[in-house]
Chains A and B, each alone.
Chain A
Amino acid sequence: MGHLNPFPADTLDQDQRRQVEALSGSVTPEQARWISGYFAGLEAGIARRSGDSGLPAGAAAALRTLTVLHGGETGNCGGLARAFAAAAADQGLVAQVEDMARYKPRRLREEQDLLVIVSTHGEGDPPQPALDFFEYVEGPKAPKLPQLRYSVLALGDSTYEHYCEAGRRLDRRLEALGATRLAERVECDVDYDETAAQWRAEALALLVAQAGAGCEVSAPADPSFPAAAAYDKRNPFPARIIDKLTIVGRDSTKETRHLELDIAGSGLVYQPGDALGIVARNDAAVVAALLDATGLSGDSDLTVKGEPTTLAEALEGHFEIAITPPRFLDHWAAVTGAAELERLSGDEGKAERQNWLRNHHIVDIVRRFPAKNVDSATFVAGLRPLQPRLYSIASSLSAMPDEAHITLAPVRYQLHGEARHGVASAHLADRSEVGDTLAVYIQPNEQFRLPEDDKAIIMIGAGTGIAPYRAFLQEREARGATGKSWLFFGERNFRSDFLYQTEWQAWLKDGLLGRMDVAFSRDRRGKAYVQHRMLERAADLFAWLEDGAHLYLCGDAARLAPDVHEALISIVAEEGRLRREGAEDYVRALQRGHRYQRDVY
């Protein structure tokens, strides 16, 4: 053992530890001194709040507990929760940050001020890790919460049908349980920065005002301190592409790529299961087509987030210009006054809106409902900022130091007789070469983690869903892990689409990978999907689960995930001789015990 672990296990969770590590790697000695002062100040605050400070007893009693409870899948809510706590600390308030994944819902009855930040996933569902929490809160056992004051920040994506649904549900339910709204619910689209900041400011202002005279607010932290130097979503690292290959054979109906990125010197650290965020740009040709449709000049001046730029540049680098968010529909209806658009954006159009938007991307709407004399600023007012895209990391740092690999399935489709391409995937597939750089950051995923080395794992994935398992096995190989492993993989054709085939074969040969079952849905013979293979192996699969195996599912959320989930329930029912409800409980218990983890998109 080389050196002492500076963070005893129970002090910080993995996430926190990583952040501290990343931070300590990047700060100057001067900054480090500042930070230690900052934390010392915080500690004083904590001591004060827990009552063993030198403060008069009355003052302490006047203080209310403050918890920021977050629930999400891809880390946005967690990030906002921590930002909230930091901002609260600036105001002298100490906020406890809790993740719904681990939060004991019974504690709700003791909470006083609760700020909830929650996203929506699946088709309007709560995030996976928050399912238990929702079940409890929405269920009959939930206590009355008259003592509670709360506010909900709901994250979502307005292109989904059930926008911010989980946040709405929670907001309604807390009210029904007798809690008081501290501030109105705020719903954020994928460009949540500003909206979230407004909600935070409002909530903090109310909290501080309430904390009132009795509370000695500590001095706000020095606002001149720069944001952490570590690269993140706001400040992505330019990673060089060191390899880029098509990894499907000739005649494939797919064009899956494998990309290797150099992250040396970035200080970026990831674990198997994490994703790589990539900030892409729109295709200049798509921008040109859109400009053409609007009749606007790409050279027109424009200010975006206070920065002067041109319309062309803004459309290429700052806005989503393909798929249409409802806000653009509303906006364009107002700009053009087109009756059809107004109908669609109004209540009457609700039923068909979702589908219509899917089939009418921005350029299609602009072409069909041209606006006269619209200026650049007006045009972009309906657009959402360009979002980074996530890609499961297909490598392990232990095996590939300084590299991050991803497996990319380019998105291509036809719309209105035109070939269209996904923004990020086409950027990666068509418009970047080895040697180019991509703006990247790490998106941790605590909900998709390898267990201890001696635990068995069952990995299920289709298509690019295989990516994190390559990371898993690289990691296990590097660590000399002894746990058994079993991989289920599905794609279209055996001969062309068996992603990373030779690597799995090598791992099967040396025993690191114990079993592998594959299903190909478009082979002439034996068409099958992964769930069919699982069902064929039901007895063994159940035995593995009974022996404590951890199960992973990664890939397509719409088709793969429900089918596999269903297969799992029937396997448990059949092999465990349980009724359906019993089997569902069994599977839920697996999820609760973090033995069934999903990363679906």
Chain B
Amino acid sequence: MADAGTFIDRGKDLSQPLDRLSPDERLKKASNYLRGTIATGLLDRITGAVAADDTRLMKIHGMYQQDDRDLRDERRRQKLEPAYRFMIRVRLPGGVCTPEQWLKLDDLARAHGGGALRLTTRQTFQFHWVLKEEVRETIQGLHEVLLDTIAACGDVSRNVMCAADPEDSALHAEVARAAREVSDHFLPRTRAYHEIWYGEEQVASSGAEEEPIYGATYLPRKFKIGFVVPPSNDIDVYTQDLGFIAVAGPAGLEGFNIAIGGGMGRTENEPLTYARLADVIGYISRDRLVAATEAVMSVQRDYGNRVERNRARFKYTIDDKGLGWIKAEIEARLGAALEPARPFRFVSNGDVFGWRETESGRFNRTLYVESGRLANRPGRSWLDGLRAIARAHRGTFRVTPNQNLIVAGVAAEDRAAIEALLAEHGLAGGGESAIRRNSIACVALPTCGLAMAEAERYLPDILGRIEAILAANGLAEEPITFRISGCPNGCSRPYVAEIALTGRAPGKYNLYLGGGFHGERLARMVRENVGEAEILSVLDDLLGRYARERRRDERLGDFVERIAYLASEQQVPGRISPII
């Protein structure tokens, strides 16, 4: 690890002239603070798309141009352009919204979003299937209930996560406040969003920097911040670029341990990309939160790789410059050394379902939402059910990092009514296996442009098959984390799951095993690019052995790690660990 004062190569960062940087950097710079030609592109009637450059800028506005991949080939033959649609991601720090906001989200989903709402792994809502000519209306609808989509995607600080904590302690409330504070502070300041989507007048430039924190080229890459309240690690703090682990004393929240450099995304066959767990580098007191965040983020802003986009995440900046140097640079910007990290302990990264009483005497009900997709389907009128609840509910709704939903702050006397609505609309749950309740699937096909294989649509099937194996081995009640992503980007945070699949091609996946049950350890790849039969056969062997050989209370991930260790002497070194 390099120490402060070591030579630091600045050949790829912000200090370089623009023409030496990646096209994305030039685009951001030339966009006039994210305006580009978005507004004119919306008026173009010849296409349902916007200009290619604008699609990149629009990410920072919180929307993605996509197309229905199920129809892509069919439409090509029909001499029609792809079926372009927009995905719109709401900014919702900590995943909390009011019943009034819920009702608006529900309206918009029905009117413009193909009748579905998608809960994401970063605790927010996505609309899919929005037509270009309806994007503006959707954004304006959100605005009516004080929601927006600014910075939900793109090279900025993303939706700030915060533990969903079904116990809803006073500590949790303080941490949630902290998360919102950070979210607000690092929001892009450009007026482009207001001009384009709300139709506000362009205000004459005051000459002042439009983006005092970010500057005209924003960050080199997405930057993810999350707050967690031990012992739950529901937000997977080790996968965040910047994670804050709440530390409480007798008087409540005192400060945070800081974890930096987590990230899941990798690219197949590019060894320079990899999943990385965050390092805990120290502790700061609550009052230094914003300053610490700015210090960390500005180091990434100034030193992050802006030449090679696939190496631009903070995790690579840290590995390129050295953790010690980065920490020193952060401390220099903070004007003080970080205190040593305080002790903490995690037990799980999953959700706890059902009713929980909170400190305030109210009740929270956590609902299992398969893959986070809320729609009305036969026997599961989930959107209708939640709309009915939102009309009656006096608390809040909270999206969990596991794509589930909490109806929070229910008075004791309202519980029965809410439970009845849940039952009526097939939302009460309870029948799912333990692995299903601990599963996450990313969106993947048909909307995600990067998907190589199915994820959300495949989850029910593959889980059904794995459940059969578990049942045969008497493991039906065993909580096991299962995560599937349609590509190696890892939006479902698969590399910290006990069993994970990442898509390679239609029907083909990499199989990972052995992630830590509370997100503390990366899984190892045990098969590459295999089909379902092979996956099930490996799992059949593994789960059989697990049932027979596990130690008391030993988690599947830990068991895998133990047998891998035992097997390691016979193993040929290589990327794949054929432990089974």
Contact = CB atoms under 8 A, between A and B. Distances in A.
Interface of A: 245-250, 258, 494-496, 498-505, 508, 516-518, 525-526
Contact of B78 (A246, A504, A517, A525): A246
Name the residue in B71, B79, B134 with the highest tally of chain A Cβ atoms < 10 Å from its Cβ. Answer: B79
Nearest to B137: A525
A250 B71 contact: yes
B345 interface: no
Contacts of A258: 79
A502 B80 contact: yes
Contacts of A498: 80-81
B552 interface: no
Given A249-B75, A525-B133, A501 B80 contact: yes
Contacts of A502: 76, 79-81
B48 interface: yes
Interface string B366-379: 00000000000000
Contacts of A495: 48, 80, 83, 131
Nearest to A520: B45
B81 to A, nearest CB: 5
Contacts of A501: 46, 79-81
Contact of B81 (A246, A248, A505): A505
B449 to A, nearest CB: 18
8 contacts: A249-B78, A250-B71, A495-B131, A500-B79, A502-B80, A504-B46, A505-B81, A525-B133
A505 B46 contact: yes
A464 to B, nearest CB: 14
B77 interface: yes
Contact of A245 (B77, B83, B131, B134): B77
A501 B75 CA distance: 10
Contacts of B76: 502
A247 B45 contact: no
A247 B79 CA distance: 6
Interface string B118-135: 000000000000010110
Contacts of B80: 247-249, 495-496, 498, 501-502
Nearest to B85: A495
Contacts of B83: 249, 495
Contacts of A494: 45, 48
A484 to B, nearest CB: 17
B181 interface: no
Given A525-B133, A526-B133, A247 B78 contact: yes
Contacts of A518: 45-46
Nearest to B49: A505
B366 to A, nearest CB: 38
B47 interface: yes
B71 A525 contact: no
A502 B131 CA distance: 18
B377 to A, nearest CB: 20
B78 A248 contact: yes
A interface secondary structure, majority: mixed
Nearest to A248: B78
> Which 8 pairs show the lowest CB-CB distances between chains A and B?
A247-B78, A501-B80, A500-B79, A525-B133, A502-B79, A518-B45, A247-B79, A249-B80
Contacts of A503: 79
Nearest to A258: B79
B85 to A, nearest CB: 10
A508 B80 CA distance: 15
Contacts, number: 50
Contacts of B47: 505
Nearest to A246: B78
A249 B79 CA distance: 9
Nearest to B134: A525
A192 to B, nearest CB: 38
Interface residues of B, number: 17
A176 B83 CA distance: 63
B74 interface: yes
Given A245-B78, A249-B75, A501-B46, 7 more contacts: A248-B80, A250-B71, A250-B74, A498-B81, A501-B80, A525-B133, A525-B134
Interface string B79-98: 11101000000000000000
A272 to B, nearest CB: 19
A243 to B, nearest CB: 10
A504 B81 CA distance: 11
B131 to A, nearest CB: 8
Nearest to B131: A495
Contacts of B77: 245
A111 to B, nearest CB: 51
Most chain B beta-carbon contacts within 10 A, residue among A250, A504, A516, A517: A250
B46 A516 contact: yes
Contacts of A496: 80
A517 B102 CA distance: 39
Given A500-B79, A502-B80, A525-B133, A249 B48 contact: no
Nearest to B76: A502
Interface in B53-82: 71, 74-81
Nearest to A525: B133
Contacts of B81: 498, 501-502, 505
Nearest to A487: B46
A517 B77 CA distance: 23
Nearest to A256: B78
Nearest to B46: A516
B183 to A, nearest CB: 33
A69 B74 CA distance: 51
A431 B418 CA distance: 58
A295 B105 CA distance: 65
Nearest to A500: B79
A202 to B, nearest CB: 52
A258 B79 CA distance: 10
Contacts of A245: 77-79
Residue in B71, B74, B77, B78 with the greatest tally of chain A CB atoms within 10 Å:
B78
Nearest to A508: B46
A517 B45 contact: yes
A508 B45 CA distance: 13
Contacts of B71: 249-250
Nearest to A250: B71
Contacts of A249: 71, 74-75, 78, 80, 83
A500 B79 CA distance: 5
A77 B133 CA distance: 50
A494 B131 CA distance: 11
A507 B174 CA distance: 59
Nearest to A523: B133
B386 to A, nearest CB: 26
A245 B75 CA distance: 11
Contacts of A250: 71, 74
B112 to A, nearest CB: 10
A260 B218 CA distance: 52
Interface string B132-149: 011000000000000000
Contacts of A526: 133
Contacts of A499: 79
A146 B58 CA distance: 79
B49 to A, nearest CB: 10
A498 B74 CA distance: 15
Contacts of B78: 245-249
A194 B273 CA distance: 82
Contacts of A505: 46-47, 81
A164 B112 CA distance: 54
Which one of B46, B48, B74, B83 has the highest number of Cβ atoms from chain A below 10 Å of its Cβ?
Answer: B46
B198 to A, nearest CB: 18
A529 B83 CA distance: 23
Residue of A247, A494, A496, A517 with most partner-chain B CB within 10 A: A494
A318 to B, nearest CB: 36
A504 B80 CA distance: 10
A394 to B, nearest CB: 11
A517 B45 CA distance: 8
Nearest to B45: A518
Contacts of B45: 494, 517-518
